[in-house]
Amino acid sequence: MPRGSHAARRQGAEVVASPGSLLGHDRLYSMTALPPLLANALSQSRWSDPGSDFLCKALGLSPESDPLVFYDSEEFMLRIHEQLDSAGYVDDPEFCMVRRRGDLSGPSDQRLVYYEALFIGASKFPGDDVLLAIDLSGDSTDHNVLWFDWSRMRPGRWVRVTLLSSLIEAIDAERES
């Protein structure tokens, strides 16, 4: 997608609530607690931005992919979650999301369930509209990390790139090297 294509819509976006007030908010019912793997990594200062080149490599993305930034705080992840809604992304068919699992057309529907996702990164350049998310659905102790890929057709733009545990292990290994 060309850089800046959704910039006009985003210019009117603002943070609707402070990050702390989002924790328990009705609309974010699935986000009242972070996945234990992520909460542990955050509490031990093991969840920090390793840089775009490393992220692309760890996620198996092309080196030509849009440069990525990593969200390294729970507050920022929750703020981005709310901003995506207030800016209209959730309801824009181009972004392949539905609000609730019941909004999916069936088991083969590949769209992201917004209330079951935590956004952990995005494109470095505003307007590129590339996102990274953790799929919080299910009872798993590990979760899929998804990448929003504009080169794919709707509704299959959310692609599983790795497991959360694998990403955390790769970050740990990079930090130790």
pLDDT at 7 over 50: no
Show the tokens assigned to 30: 């699935």
For residue 101, what pLDDT is reported?
92
In the predicted structure, residue 23 carries a pLDDT above the cut 80:
no
Report the pLDDT value the prediction gives residue 141, as an integer from 0 to 100. Answer: 86
Q: Which residues contact 155 (CB under 8 A, 6 or more apart)?
A: 96, 109, 110, 111
Note the residue count of the chain.
177
End-to-end Cα distance, the chain: 35
Q: Which residue has the higher pLDDT, 8 or 132?
A: 132
| Per-residue tokens: 109 | 């529907």
Return the number of other C-beta atoms located less than 10 Å from residue 172's C-beta: 15
pLDDT band at 53 (very low <50, low <70, confident <90, very high): very high
Question: How many beta carbons lie within 10 A of that of residue 61, not counting itself?
Answer: 19
User: For 7, which DSSP code?
Assistant: H
Task: State the pLDDT at residue 18.
Answer: 29
**Residue-level pLDDT at 156:** 94
Q: What are 129-173's pLDDT values in tens digits? A: 899 999 998 778 899 999 999 999 999 999 999 999 999 999 999
Counting other chains too, the contacts that 146-151 makes at CB distance below 8 Å and 24 or more residues apart are 146/112, 146/117, 147/59, 147/61, 148/95, 148/96, 150/1
Asked whether the predicted pLDDT for residue 80 surpasses 90, the reply is yes
